[in-house]
Amino acid sequence: MKKLIPLYMFLGFFSANAQIEPLLEHIWELEQVVTIDSTLTVPNDIIPTLEILDFGNNYLISFGSCQFLEAQILFDNQDESFAISEISMPLANCNDNEILSYEFFLYEEFLFEDTSLTIPYQPYNYTFTTEGSIIYLDITNSVGDVATYTASTLSNDDFNSTQFSIYPNPTTNLLHIESGETEIQNVSIFNLSGKQVLQADLQDKQFIEVGHLNNGVYLLKMETENGSVVKKFVKY
């Protein structure tokens, strides 16, 4: 006998995925942070970013473009909110003190209650608004502070498919990267649990060595001046 899925459950599943989908489709750029005590407006040439990576059953959220802050993210689709856990801060990607000052304002004044960055102001609620080709993402923490991010209507998929390829895939040792005319600033590799297992600067090379990694499926994240791109590959 066939098992019937109630219509309300199907519609709930569809609605939940629809709420998360816009978060995954864009590289978000920080525009403003408004707290109870102060307002931070980010200049156009300083762009701390937010990106959420889909690892199948897990999501990883990545804040920053200089000093990254990464964490596991758990969505509450009913309330359009999320919480973070397993927080880590990889080595800084640059030493630009101006960018770092904006990023640490976000971390210390908005994301966390303490300067050691261990107690998040969560849950975080989120809403979207659209004006022309710009999408605004407002994230509100548990005490009412708001961080506003923006993104264009160009999705990651559009950006990925026309610019980048990796080969051979699967690979045993070297993974070559083709990026057309787009310069790749650095690359990171994550396992499917969302843990970063490698970070490298390509410099003049167009390949990375992955022979030391355990066999399995990985995500390759490539940072460019236009945003980041994620590709899946298999190491065997």
Q: In whole angstroms, give the CA distance from residue 190 to residue 186.
A: 14
Q: In whole angstroms, give the CA distance from residue 186 to residue 203.
A: 8
Residues 122-164 have pLDDT tens digits of 999 999 999 887 899 999 999 999 999 998 765 555 555 557 8
Q: What φ, ψ does residue 83 adopt, rounded to 5°?
A: -130, 155
Examine the pLDDT at 78 and tell me if it is beyond 70: yes
3-state helix, strand, coil in the chain (%, to 5): 20, 45, 40
pTM of structure: 0.67
Q: What φ, ψ does residue 54 adopt, rounded to 5°?
A: -95, 115
Please name the fold of domain 156-235.
Answer: Immunoglobulin-like (2.60.40)
Burial category of 112 from C-beta neighbours within 10 Å (exposed 0-12, middle 13-18, buried 19 and up): buried
Residues 173-184 have pLDDT tens digits of 999 998 888 888
pLDDT band at 17 (very low <50, low <70, confident <90, very high): low
Class of the CATH domain delimited by 7-152? mainly beta
pLDDT band at 92 (very low <50, low <70, confident <90, very high): low
* Average pLDDT score over residue span 40-56: 83
Residue ranges covered by each domain of the chain: 7-152, 156-235
